[in-house]
Structure 1
């Protein structure tokens, strides 16, 4: 049986995943996660994911961003020893972070498909909008874990592809709305 590939992320009502942490990430309307009232239960999905994750997959830019913070983060300590995969045609072995668990570079979408055919549990993609879009369009994403925030961010990056991409059908596995306007949405992709 193939391993599940799960995309997890923060998203706006209009489907943008761009700059959730701040404008320095690129979009002038960034920072929408921190502009939202903090309600602890709205982030319970992230705790559940820590227990389910058996490996992490990143695109190059997200790997560089997360690897600069997560190795020293107490909140992400469980991820430290997990296998990591970086899907990139440009990153070199000398650019991988030491002491953050085993890391393998995948050079193509087919390499990701091969990884899914190995034994093991779910592989989670964090951030990595372009990678998630490419893998979704290739039919490789099995599940979406989304925390949808009550903002519209026109022109922001999306994980769902451009107009004209093939339609994909999703089945709602779980949902919950929180007092701060955040909505948890967990969808299985029907292949």
Structure 2
């Protein structure tokens, strides 16, 4: 079974919505983004929610740094999206479809990455479909915005498997979901 990895830019108070603050509020440090290159090399597919798809699809195809993502299979979980003009993009209708995608090996054994997609990530976590989190934690408290971890009342146990701290205050936390 393929791993499903959620990767997020996140504030100390858990906000992941509209991460324009990543570049406007914290000095850029290239080393903090090395994980993004690794993710692109490892990924066998990209999974997105409708909102993230609608934000990425018009922009990423023209960005050279996302060439690998543009070529690989992309899946959008949506009950309303009819299709996409973004090359090799497919629509999934449910979390059951995501579970079936994880079980498929016809596209390789590499992990499936979820970028952004806060609502989808919350649902995937609640359904027990997430295997790992890649969090770039920014030293900011926004006080408002969509958070990665919803008030579900459920405990999710995580194990830290990799970490790093950067001079700009950003920390990397790679966490496996413990089942």
- After TM superposition, the score normalised by the length of structure 1 is 0.89
SS in 1 for 2:142: coil
Following superposition, the deviation at residue 34 of structure 1 comes to 2.6
Contact 1:33 1:149 in 2 (8 A): no
Distance in 1 between residues matched to 2:61 and 2:118, nearest whole Å: 21
Deviations 1:143-166 (A, max 9, x none): 0001000001212111212152x1
1:131 aligns with 2:120: yes
- List structure 1 runs of 4+ shifted beyond 6 angstroms: none
Which residue of structure 2 lines up, in the alignment, with residue 117 of structure 1? 103
Which residue of structure 1 lines up, in the alignment, with residue 11 of structure 2? 12
Distance in 2 between residues matched to 1:17 and 1:114, nearest whole Å: 27
Distance in 2 between residues matched to 1:187 and 1:154, nearest whole Å: 24
Contact 1:129 1:157 in 2 (8 A): yes
Contact 1:71 1:77 in 2 (8 A): yes
1:188 aligns with 2:176: yes
Contact 1:32 1:151 in 2 (8 A): no
Which residue of structure 2 lines up, in the alignment, with residue 70 of structure 1? 60
1:154 aligns with 2:140: no
Deviations 1:45-67 (A, max 9, x none): 11111111110000011001011
Distance in 2 between residues matched to 1:48 and 1:32, nearest whole Å: 19
Contact 1:137 1:161 in 2 (8 A): no
- Which runs of no fewer than 5 residues in structure 2 stay unpaired? none
Which residue of structure 2 lines up, in the alignment, with residue 25 of structure 1? none
After superposition, where does 1:29-48 map in structure 2 within 5 Å? Answer: 31-48=21-38
Following superposition, the deviation at residue 68 of structure 1 comes to 1.1
Deviations 1:16-51 (A, max 9, x none): 102211xxxxxxxxx243321011101111111111
- After TM superposition, the score normalised by the length of structure 2 is 0.95
User: What is the Cα-based RMSD across aligned positions, in Å?
Assistant: 1.1
Contact 2:9 2:22 in 1 (8 A): no
Distance in 2 between residues matched to 1:64 and 1:175, nearest whole Å: 31
